[in-house]
Amino acid sequence: MCIEKCNMFEELTKCKNLMEKYGGHQMAAGLSIKKENIIELRNKLNINSPLKENDFIHKLTIDKQVPISDVSIEMINDIEMLEPCGKGNSSPVLADKKINVEKFYIMGINKNTLKLTLSTQNSGKIDALGFNKVDKFVGILIDEYGTQRVEEILKNRRCATNFDIAFVPSLNTYNGVTTIQLKIIDFRVSRI
């Protein structure tokens, strides 16, 4: 992922004598380079970088706090009218606090997809998927409960921890049945 403050193409252009060829734009670039020039290119890019330590702090913008129990198919259909989403027109990021995680699953070939079954205020359930979120989730559990207790938690797939979750709502159709599903953008333990 590129940091908008850094124009990748401009930074490579400053080192063009080290590369065979290069191309791209502000947010992405590619290059061909001789093996013996890699270290020098890396050093020059690091020395000349306009980025400061603060630029690497992840910033998340929440568009609106919405209780997950208020997420509906109608709301998702309204949001889909804003598509196509991408750079300059990102999907609205919603969030809710103190969400009860009823059960969780670690899925995928690489065991890097987190599926949470969340309880809503009206006793309903909503599934939420987090791609590449397993390590963070397990790390949070270890911080909360310690390594020994986490082994039991992972085995039972239940934790007694509420989370604040940032998400994008979507629809999931499986075997002809459409349900609400949240795409997890980020999460943390609820503290307040």
The total of structural domains in the chain comes to: 2
Torsion region of 132: left, alpha or beta (phi above 0 gives left; psi -120 to 50 gives alpha): left
Instruction: Band the pLDDT of 1: cuts 50, 70, 90.
Output: very low
pLDDT tens figures, 146-169: 888 898 899 998 887 899 999 999
Claim to verify: residue 50 and residue 81 sit in the same structural domain: no
Residue 46 lies in a domain: yes
Residues ≥6 apart with Cβ < 8 Å to 45: 11, 12, 15
Mean residue pLDDT across the chain: 88
The two tokens of residue 76 are: 């998702």
CATH number at residue 79: 2.40.50.140
Give residue 3's pLDDT: 66
Q: Summarize pLDDT for 26-57 with one digit per residue, the tens.
A: 878 889 999 999 999 999 988 888 877 777 77
Whether residue 1 is contained in a domain is answered as no
Query: Out of 47-61, 88-102, 106-120, 178-192, which region has the weakest mean confidence (pLDDT)?
Result: 47-61
Angle at 91 (CA atoms; ends 190, 127), nearest 5 degrees: 50
pLDDT value at position 171? 92
Domain that includes residue 34, residue range: 8-56
Q: Which two tokens stand for residue 192?
A: 């307040």
In a domain, 3, yes or no: no
184 in the same domain as 98: yes
At 2 the pLDDT is: 58
Tokens 């124009």, residue located: 7
pLDDT at 84: 78
Is 96 in the same domain as 42?
no
Residue 124 — φ and ψ, nearest 5°?
-85, 180
Distance CA 170, CA 148 (A): 36
Range scoring the smallest mean pLDDT among 29-33, 53-57, 103-107, 182-186: 53-57
